């Protein structure tokens, strides 16, 4: 086996949510942990979470999203316990599974540690927004906002020639 890797995966929802993104992250974490080293999943906390998996799951402060139970919105920057644990980690790679709070956190870690960042957006955000807000205009506005924000971040990082962007960032838009 090659040198073991340490990989951080950042996701905006985790168990008890059992959607496709959570399934993908659990699968990735299992196999990365099994075959390639250590994988740690970072996600918003829930009151009753007990980790059933053989890999490490770390949580951070969050609140419920109104009307979207059991989904939560995370505040990793405000969680001192989480920050202390994260500061002890040295990753080889971080993987963001969302452009929201966990994606921002993965980006912050990649920049701070000067490591590659992989970003995968798993959702049809327009459809998700339309289902939640019931308006085409707001759904389209939010979709454009996410795309422009992502491009702005990429442009800032690319112009600074940070290795996490310069040669290693992959944005995969997966629709299922």
Taking the C-alpha atoms of residue 97 and residue 42, their distance in angstroms, rounded to an integer, is 10
**Interatomic CA distance for residues 39 and 104, integer angstroms:** 19
Whether the pLDDT of residue 172 is over 60: the answer is no
pLDDT at res. 155: 64
For residue 175, the model assigns a pLDDT of 33
Q: Give the rounded percent of residues in the chain with a pLDDT score beyond 70.
A: 84
The pLDDT value recorded for residue 154 is 62
The whole-number average pLDDT for the span 74-100 is: 93
SS (H, E, C) 73-131: EECHHHCHHHHHHHHCCCCCEEEECCCCHHHHHHHHHHHHHCCCEEEEECCCHHHHHHH
Mean pLDDT of 31-36: 94
Least confident of 65-69, 148-152, 153-157: 153-157
């Amino acid at each position: 086996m090659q040198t073991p890797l340490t990989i951080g995966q950042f996701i905006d929802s985790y168990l008890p949510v059992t959607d496709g993104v959570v399934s993908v992250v659990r699968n990735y974490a299992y196999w990365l942990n099994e075959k390639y080293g250590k994988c740690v999943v970072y996600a918003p906390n829930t009151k009753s979470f007990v980790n059933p998996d053989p890999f490490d799951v770390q949580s951070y402060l969050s609140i419920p999203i109104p009307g979207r139970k059991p989904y939560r919105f995370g505040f990793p920057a405000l969680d001192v316990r989480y920050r202390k644990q994260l500061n002890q980690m040295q990753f080889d790679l971080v993987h963001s599974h969302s452009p929201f709070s966990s994606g921002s956190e993965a980006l912050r870690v990649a920049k701070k540690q000067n490591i590659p960042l992989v970003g995968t957006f798993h959702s049809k955000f327009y459809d998700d927004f339309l289902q939640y807000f019931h308006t085409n205009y707001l759904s389209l506005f939010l979709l454009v906002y996410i795309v422009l924000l992502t491009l702005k971040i990429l442009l800032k990082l690319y112009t600074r020639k940070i290795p996490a962007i310069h040669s290693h960032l992959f944005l995969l838009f997966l629709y299922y």
